[in-house]
Chains A and B, each alone.
Chain A
């Protein structure tokens, strides 16, 4: 259950972002979690519910986008989705593939809430 450690880490990052932008709250968070990242999205969501209590992200809504493994083949240039158990090139069978998606563990988007003119963020 390392998801709880990750959430503690995430909350720290959110607090730092909020301080930098002089925001009062965190409204919405979007994570990108690859199936090969070693993190279970459902456990992450459950852990976030516990970790957010009493923090700047107390009422923040968490959205998780789960990404599937995508490989790029160095031999035949094929690029496409594969199963997490088989990362060989489905086109030519090569082992010389690179994982280009599916192992992300990323804070993709944060919506901060605050009141002007305190906010230190450029208007559009």
Chain B
């Protein structure tokens, strides 16, 4: 078994051989290697996850469009759980420290990653941020990903759960338009429900059907960070997830987002390498 990613490949020393004479055509025996294109990222993500697990920190990745209320949700959540859980936040944005400042104003540690032009966080950026966070003193770490419904879905950061937000102003068909992102959600939060009276065109039933069509078992909670209506469903969900995460840790196991688990299965596909003479 591969010691790097745990997949079933033979060590490459078995491929190595000393040929006694040069044949005319050098077609390598199709050697089974398995490489997800995100191998480097995934290896770093696994290291991050091991670090989180050593400290027993549950890590939740928040993803959504820009402006769907990730930071407002965090503010409401941090206020609601401040006495109960020790929490910190990694903020991902292209520019500015604005979001981190909002979190720090609540007395919560926040580290801002500014990605410049990159449209997503990756496992290496998160690894660097971890040097600035007191992991041993934390119960839950939130990662607020860059606002984007496309790119962040492809990168494992080493977190345990994906939570995707859909604000009611975005429309109820978003899961159909961005199936990759919404399929990645371990939980879907419909946010800004306080605006529903002004948006008769938004149907909660259509949003639910749109999500269900992606064959995901993710729960869906409507909530408003502004009025706190529905907030307790989300905080209760977090408590349950934390309890099951701790139970897994006691058994020496960990937790991965559902899509990352699938990714592991895909690594079992066996591609091949061929070797040919170089014709100059």
Residue ranges of A at the interface with B (Cβ–Cβ < 8 Å) = 1-2, 5-6, 9-10, 12-13, 17, 20-21, 23-25, 27, 30-32, 36-39, 71, 84-88, 95-97, 99, 103-117, 119-124
Contact = CB atoms under 8 A, between A and B. Distances in A.
A39 B183 contact: no
Interface in B202-229: 212-215, 217
A114 B275 contact: yes
B37 A121 contact: no
Interface in B11-28: 12, 15-17, 19, 22-23, 26-28
B194 interface: no
Contacts of B213: 85-88
B131 interface: no
A123 B273 CA distance: 12
Given A13-B40, A113-B277, A120 B215 contact: no
A6 B50 CA distance: 23
B273 A109 contact: yes
B251 interface: no
Given A36-B179, A120-B15, A114 B41 contact: no
Contacts, number: 167
Nearest to B217: A95
A1 B119 contact: yes
A114 B111 CA distance: 47
Nearest to B21: A117
A116 B22 contact: yes
Contact of A103 (B23, B151, B262, B279): B262
B225 to A, nearest CB: 27
A124 B29 contact: yes
B105 interface: no
A113 B273 CA distance: 11
B31 A103 contact: no
B35 A106 contact: yes
A9 B41 contact: yes
11 contacts: A2-B151, A21-B15, A27-B276, A39-B37, A96-B215, A97-B215, A106-B34, A107-B35, A109-B271, A109-B274, A123-B28
A121 B29 CA distance: 8
Given A87-B183, A87-B213, A123 B19 contact: yes
